[in-house]
Structure 1
C-alpha cells in the first residue's frame, strides 16, 4: 500500500510543472554489467530459461533498476525482473526470459530511476544476441553461485520492505489521498468497461463494431493485470495508472462516438 501511495505522489510530481519536478531531480545512478549467465555474445535459451545479469550499481539516492530486451531497436517480447530499491553501492540482479518461442534480443538496455518516463534513463547497455533454442539448457544447469546469492538478497529485501510498509501507519492525509485516488481509479475502470459494453449492447452496425474496439482494449488491460499479478505479485505495482491510461481513452472514444451519433440523428 505504501508503494501505491508513493506511486500517487510520483504521478503528481510528473504532472506538475517546474519547481516541484526540478527540486526532486538527482544525478543518474551508475550501473555496470559485471557478468552474465549464460555467458557469451551469442546465446540460445531453453523454453524456461532465464538470462541473468550481474550488475554493480552506485547511487546517492534510492532507485529502481530494470532491464529490457530490444531487437532491431524495438522492445522484444520478453519478461523481465522486478526491482527493489537500491541505494549507495552494491550488486543487483536482473534477468529476462522469452515470452514467444521465436523471440530474439540483440541489445539489453538497463534503466535506473524512480520509474517515471523522464526519471528513469538508460544508464547502461549490453549488446548480446539471445534467441530461443529447443536444445539449450534450462535454468539450473551449472548456474553460478552469484545468481543464487543475489536472488536470495533480493527476496530478503522484498520481505523486509513489505514488513516495514505493513508496520508503518498511514497519516490522515495519506489515507484521504489514497482512498480518493483508489475510488477514482475504480470509477475509471468501471466506466472504461461499462460504457463500451453498454454501447456494444445498444448500438447496431458499424457503431457497434467501433464501440467494440475500446471494449476489447479494456478487457485486454484488465486481463493482463489479473494474470500478471497471479504469476508475480510485484509485476503490476502501478496498476491504477495502467487502468487510467486505458480507461480514459476508452470513455472519451465512446463519448465522441455518442456525440457523432446524435449529430447525425442515428438511432439504434
Structure 2
C-alpha cells in the first residue's frame, strides 16, 4: 500500500472519529438540557394561608374552607383541590378552576355536605384537567371537621373577599367571551341533528305502542298498553306541572325523550317475542 492510500485511510478515520465525538457531545448536551426544559414547563403551587386559619378547624353549616394559593406556570393550567380523610376522597363540594398563566395567586375552597365529615389532607392538582397531565403538585395537611351548627358572625379576611371578586369577574368574562363567539355551521348542523333525533324518537315512542294497540290482539294488546300508559303519564305530568308552575319541567323534552326511548325498547322486545312465539309481526 502506497503512502497516498495510507493518508486517505488516516484522513477518513480522523473524520469518522471526529463525527462520533460530535455525536457524543450532542448527546450529553441533550441529556443536560431536556430535563431542564421539562422541569421548567411544570406548574408549581403552594399554600400561602387558609381561612378559617389553623391546623384544626371546625366548619359551621354552609361554611367554606378557603385556601390562598400561589402558582407559577409557563403554560395555561387549571388548579383543583381534592380533600381526603385517611387516604380516601371525601364527598364535598369544591371550587371550579379557571386557566392560570405566569405567576399569581388563586383561590380554592370546599364545603361539606354532611355534619361529622372530616378532612385531614387536601391534594392540589394542576394541569390541563386530564388524568395523565394533572398531577398532584402540593398537599395541605390539617384537620377540618363539619359541624351542624349555624355559622357565627365573623369577619372574613380581605384576601377572601378580594379573590372571590376577582374569580367571579374572570368567570363572567369567560362566559361573555364564549357567548360572543359566532356559532359555526358545524354547531348548527349538530344542534339541528340532535333536535331532529329527539323529535323522531319522541314521535316513534308514542306511535309504536299506539300501533301495537291497534294491530295486536289479546294479551299482546294489554302488553302494548304498558308503554302507552307510561308515555301518556309523563306527558300529562308535564302538562299539569307546567300549568301550575311553568318552571317545574324546564327539561321536558328530555323527559319525553327518555320515556319514548324506553317505550321503543319495550315495543321492540315484544315484537321479537311475538315472532319467537309465532304470533306474527
TM-score by length of 1: 0.55
Choose the corresponding residue for 1:179, options 188, 191, 196. 191
Q: Deviation digits for residues 192-236 of structure 1, max 9, x if unmatched?
A: xx9xxx9xxx7xxxxxxxxxxxxxxxxxxxxxxxxxxxxxxxxxx
Structure (1 or 2) with the larger CA radius of gyration: 2
Residue aligning to 1:75: 89
SS of 2:156 mapped into structure 1: coil
Structure 1 unaligned residues grouped into runs of 5+: 1-25, 203-246
Which of the pair has the greater relative contact order for Cα pairs under 8 Å at 6+ separation? 1
Residue aligning to 1:28: 42
Alignment partner of 1:115 is 2:126: no
1:28, 1:123 within 8 Å by CA — same for their partners in 2?
Answer: no
1:51, 1:95 within 8 Å by CA — same for their partners in 2?
Answer: yes
TM-align CA RMSD: 3.7
SS of 2:125 mapped into structure 1: strand
- Say if 1:150 and 1:85 are closer, same or farther in 2 by CA, change over 3 A: same
CA apart distance, 1:135: 5.5
* Equivalent runs, 1:1-268 vs 2, <5 Å: 27-134=41-148, 137-138=151-152, 141-173=154-186, 175-176=188-189, 179=191, 183=194
Residue aligning to 1:208: none
Distance (Å, rounded) in 1 between the aligned partners of 2:191 and 2:99: 25
CA apart distance, 1:151: 0.3
Structure 2 unaligned residues grouped into runs of 5+: 1-39, 210-222, 224-257
SS of 1:40 mapped into structure 2: coil
Following superposition, which runs of at least 4 residues in structure 1 exceed 6 angstroms of deviation? none
Q: Aligned pair count? A: 177
CA apart distance, 1:116: 2.1
CA apart distance, 1:174: 5.0
1:28, 1:121 within 8 Å by CA — same for their partners in 2?
Answer: no
1:98, 1:132 within 8 Å by CA — same for their partners in 2?
Answer: yes
- Say if 1:29 and 1:173 are closer, same or farther in 2 by CA, change over 3 A: farther
SS of 1:52 mapped into structure 2: strand
TM-score by length of 2: 0.53
Distance (Å, rounded) in 1 between the aligned partners of 2:148 and 2:115: 9
SS of 1:89 mapped into structure 2: strand
Higher helix share: 2
CA apart distance, 1:171: 3.2
